Structure 1
Amino acid sequence: MQQSRTGSTDAGLHTRWNEALIGLVAVLVLVNFVVDSAITAPLLVLPEMLDHFGTNQAAWLNATAMLAGVMWAPLLGKCADIYGKRRVLVLTLLISGAGALVCAVAPILWVFVAGRMLQGAALAAVFLSVAIVRGVCAPRIAMIIVGIVTSGSAVLNIASRFLIEKLAMEFGFQILFLVSAVVAAAMAICVRNVVPESLIKTPGKIDVGGALLLGGGIAGVISYVSLGSDLGWLAVGPLALLVGGVAALARWLLVSSRKPDPLIDVRDLGGPLVLTLLVVFLGAGSYQSMLQLIPLIGDVSADQQLGYGLADQGSVALLLAAPGLGVMLGGPGAGWLAARIGPASTLAGAVMLGTVVTIGMFLGASQLPAALCCAFLLGVTVGALGTAGFNMAGSVASAERQGIVSSLVMVMVSIGSVVLNFVGAAVLESTVVVVDGETTNSATGVFSCIAIASGAFAIAAVLAVMLVRSTRLSRSPDLARDAV
């Protein structure tokens, strides 16, 4: 295959950096910044939103976009394989922007929630960006660029936090959604003009019924996990979501197994992909549960004699910034490493690092230097985990299935984050103690959360080692044939 001076092969794949590739990467990094503005940035103005709508149902405002994103993901991933990844990414950004406008002008809570459901489509931009990179770049450089694209927006996210808070104080929380809508529209234009359309497409049609069953089923079950603690586990609403979600998933499994072209062919997932998804589920969830715990530890002083606490050991503001800095290093670093030792080994290294670092939080719970180190390395872990997970899943999927396979990785990240966050919150809530008339988290709860996250990371590490072995075994016959 001949390589040109522009750094692309005769098949059109980029093999080294050039102006076109730099422009593409810059656009996709900014696209992923749109995801943060749609999914997580609104949490900064959560108290203002609750006051505006006169409600205490923070879960509806907090979780709706993520849950909707999980529902959108399989449908948009399949559409990308059939109709083209650029086209679907543009559509995704426009849907998200429209949702942001609805949120900005929403007169009542339920209109706002509907806007958040539309805005959640932005979650698909992450895996669509990955699929685009793998479609236009040779495998070795694609692995590095996936790390940059998925992690590069972290620096923009850190800087934007201060601007968001200032704008919200001056103009109200609605300004955040107006800005998100404008940015989404601008990036849709940039994607349309800069990103090339997919040359490889999958013939077929969208299984709309299967998409609704799968997405609705996943969203229903996760909604029960996310909202049950606020609304009541036995309340009619959460129970209806659980029952409906389980029924939808059961129906989807039954129906999809009979269709010749289902949304996701569970019979053709393969062992390596299943192991990858399980590792991502456990690793992402463990990281999120630790991220939830860090500010709680930072708000407690060791003088309270609870057995943990960092508030009296100096500034703990870096505890919240350290993971973001780690992500910026971990993502590109994992891409560089995967290009040399393979994505499976890189993924295994990421979860092993996560296991060690999470165990280190037993010391970090009471020692600020250890906590800062662990927080930074946890960021490195999650940056590497996401990059290696996408690279591994992409390496075992055909070119025609990159969109739907990448969407599965994003779904597992979301599900893992919600489930293990809930587990950690439930443990903390069930072990609280009263000190000087105030309810606070006990050392038993804090250290139990760390133990649960460490155990989940350890299980993920075992699965990752199995993944490395399975990929090596699958390559052995190919190597033997090449030798012959």
Structure 2
Amino acid sequence: MAVPVLAFGGILMAVMQTAVVPLLPDLPRLTGAPAGTVSWMVTSTLLAGAILTPVLGRAGDMYGKRRVLLLALSLMTVGSLLCAVTSDIRVLIAARALQGAAAAVVPLSISILRDELPPQRRDSAVAFMSSTLGIGGALGLPLAACIVQYADWHMMFWASGVAGVVVVVLAVWAVPESPVRQPGRFDVLGAFGLSVGLVCLLLAVSQGGEWGWASVPVIGLLLAAVAVLALWAWQQKRVSDPLVDLRLAARPAVALPHVVALLVGFAFYANSLVTAQLVQAPTSTGYGLGLSIVGAGLCLLPGGLLMLILGPVSARISRARGPRTTLALGAGVIALGYVVRMLDSHHLWVIILGGAVVSAGTALAYSSLPALILRSVPATQTGSANGVNVLMRTIGQSLCSAAVVAVLVHSTGDGTGAGLPTLHGYLVAFAMAGAVALVGCAVARLIPRDEGK
């Protein structure tokens, strides 16, 4: 029972990361807060998740993965219930930050499965668990859109809160505590340094479009991120129990999967960002389909279902050819999906097909990444290493969001009306994401065969 329970937690976490997106246009009216403040309901979750994923992964390695997993799920549930009972934007932002702790659920679950399952079951279970990030992301948008359109917006958080209580109870009952521990002292200074560096980096990336990329706050945050993370790396190499073992992380068998995770996170996220905007654009633009928010969300549903199916397929490919091959194949399929998107963005069935191909490639890539990490790090560091890998996906998604917004804003105002992007802008975004996926494919082929084949 542990596998379906952990997968349920992973899907719920990913759903909550995207569920608020359909609500953003209406939140200023619903909360009485300006749009810039409302955007922090997304930013706070991003920042909290990025900070807590490697920190909780390391804590799981040291103090027990099940214990820390229950903490992360509980924080997510409390955040959902707080959102359900308030319209105060300050409480909503703080509650969404609590939900961000759930980003550590997937790497912790992968580590538990690695420790508890026999080898013949491990690969498929880990592949499916890793795919829950994409599955939940693809399913979250249409589910949230339906709730927002046909019910009170608080119902979305009531539903996630109740689901959170259920998954916590099931995890207490079904998930065993891993006996694999790494003794030592928790690196508080390292956790603080990484948190400050990531906040500076991701805050600059996520707010650069609004504040201006050449503005003093953005440049200052980027410079601070470089300085703090450089000091953090210096400190990590000099402590006996570092938060992240940088010497291990620098090995090609570990570092290259992290690089591909960033690139695949970038490439995958563009599909969700661009598709919803393109199909909702009015028909007067010459390319838009004028779909409702629910219709836009349903366009992503086939891709989410396909990811659900392809987890076991990915594990079979990895057993036969090695996870390195599966990772490269997945990145290549993502690029193929964007070729489909560029060939025709006027017919709904082609848009859905292209998005589904991108999702299929993402399922293959996401499913193979943990297998590469688990083969290349000691059992006592799997939580920390997988946490860093998920962090790299998050950074990739953040960079993608900033890049797509910049491309679409640059293409606005060329006769589409109402300040909407041109079709050329969308095509450039597709080409950019496809090119990043091809780079990911090339980097995947560089992963050493002798350590992660």
Normalised by the length of structure 2, the TM-score is: 0.90
- Contact conserved, 2:268 with 2:358, CA < 8 A, in 1? yes
In 2, the alpha carbon distance for the partners of 1:348 and 1:441 equals: 32
In 2, the alpha carbon distance for the partners of 1:214 and 1:30 equals: 29
Where do 1:297-336 residues align within 5 Å? 297-300=278-281, 304=285, 319-336=299-316
CA shift for structure 1 position 334: 0.9
Normalised by the length of structure 1, the TM-score is: 0.84
- Contact conserved, 2:79 with 2:99, CA < 8 A, in 1? yes
Selected match of 1:394 from 369, 374, 387:
374
Selected match of 1:42 from 20, 37, 42:
20
1:83 aligns with 2:63: yes
Please state whether the residue corresponding to 1:346 is helix, strand or coil: helix
1:96 aligns with 2:88: no
Q: Deviations over 1:379-414 (max 9, x none)?
A: 111111111112211121111111001101110110
| Equivalence for 2:267 | 286
In 1, the alpha carbon distance for the partners of 2:255 and 2:193 equals: 21
Please state whether the residue corresponding to 2:179 is helix, strand or coil: coil
| Equivalence for 2:10 | 32
- Contact conserved, 2:336 with 2:358, CA < 8 A, in 1? no
In 1, the alpha carbon distance for the partners of 2:271 and 2:136 equals: 23
Where do 1:116-127 residues align within 5 Å? 116-127=96-107
What amino acid does structure 2 have at the position aligned with 1:275?
A: L
CA shift for structure 1 position 301: 7.2
1:226 aligns with 2:215: no
| Equivalence for 1:56 | 35
Q: 1:390 and 1:98, CA in 2 relative to 1: closer, same or farther beyond 3 A?
A: same
In 1, the alpha carbon distance for the partners of 2:89 and 2:235 equals: 36
What amino acid does structure 1 have at the position aligned with 2:31?
A: F
Q: 1:45 and 1:130, CA in 2 relative to 1: closer, same or farther beyond 3 A?
A: same
1:200 aligns with 2:180: yes
Please state whether the residue corresponding to 2:419 is helix, strand or coil: strand
Relative contact order (C-alpha < 8 Å, sep 6+): which is higher?
2
- Contact conserved, 1:82 with 1:202, CA < 8 A, in 2? yes
* Alignment root-mean-square deviation, CA: 2.8
- Contact conserved, 2:208 with 2:402, CA < 8 A, in 1? no
In 1, the alpha carbon distance for the partners of 2:382 and 2:411 equals: 44
Q: 1:248 and 1:113, CA in 2 relative to 1: closer, same or farther beyond 3 A?
A: farther
- Contact conserved, 1:102 with 1:115, CA < 8 A, in 2? yes
| Equivalence for 1:453 | 433
| Equivalence for 1:482 | none
Q: 1:42 and 1:295, CA in 2 relative to 1: closer, same or farther beyond 3 A?
A: closer
Listed as ranges, the gaps of 5+ residues in structure 2 are: none
In 1, the alpha carbon distance for the partners of 2:90 and 2:415 equals: 39
Q: 1:74 and 1:282, CA in 2 relative to 1: closer, same or farther beyond 3 A?
A: same
What amino acid does structure 2 have at the position aligned with 1:149?
A: M
Residue range with higher mean Cα deviation, 233-242 or 205-214 = 233-242
In 2, the alpha carbon distance for the partners of 1:102 and 1:285 equals: 31
Where do 1:148-297 residues align within 5 Å? 148-151=128-131, 164=144, 172-233=152-213, 238-239=218-219, 241-269=221-249, 270-297=251-278
CA shift for structure 1 position 105: 4.0
What amino acid does structure 2 have at the position aligned with 1:39?
A: Q
Selected match of 1:420 from 388, 396, 400:
400
CA shift for structure 1 position 463: 0.8
Q: Deviations over 1:118-148 (max 9, x none)?
A: 1100111111111111111233421111233
- Contact conserved, 1:144 with 1:339, CA < 8 A, in 2? no
In 2, the alpha carbon distance for the partners of 1:155 and 1:282 equals: 18
- Contact conserved, 1:432 with 1:439, CA < 8 A, in 2? yes
Q: Deviations over 1:233-260 (max 9, x none)?
A: 4556545543443332122112112112
In 2, the alpha carbon distance for the partners of 1:453 and 1:230 equals: 22
Q: Deviations over 1:287-339 (max 9, x none)?
A: 1113222233324578755xx55669xx8775322321221123232122212
| Equivalence for 1:383 | 363
Q: Deviations over 1:253-297 (max 9, x none)?
A: 121121122111212221111111111111120111132222333
In 2, the alpha carbon distance for the partners of 1:329 and 1:397 equals: 28
What amino acid does structure 1 have at the position aligned with 2:266?
A: G
Which protein has the larger Cα radius of gyration, Structure 1 or Structure 2?
1
* Count of aligned positions: 447
State the identity as a percent.
26
In 2, the alpha carbon distance for the partners of 1:302 and 1:170 equals: 24
1:114 aligns with 2:94: yes
In 2, the alpha carbon distance for the partners of 1:96 and 1:151 equals: 20
In 1, the alpha carbon distance for the partners of 2:147 and 2:280 equals: 26
Q: 1:207 and 1:357, CA in 2 relative to 1: closer, same or farther beyond 3 A?
A: same
Please state whether the residue corresponding to 1:435 is helix, strand or coil: coil
CA shift for structure 1 position 448: 1.8
In 2, the alpha carbon distance for the partners of 1:225 and 1:123 equals: 19
- Contact conserved, 1:48 with 1:173, CA < 8 A, in 2? no
CA shift for structure 1 position 39: 1.7
Q: 1:344 and 1:301, CA in 2 relative to 1: closer, same or farther beyond 3 A?
A: same
- Contact conserved, 1:151 with 1:332, CA < 8 A, in 2? no
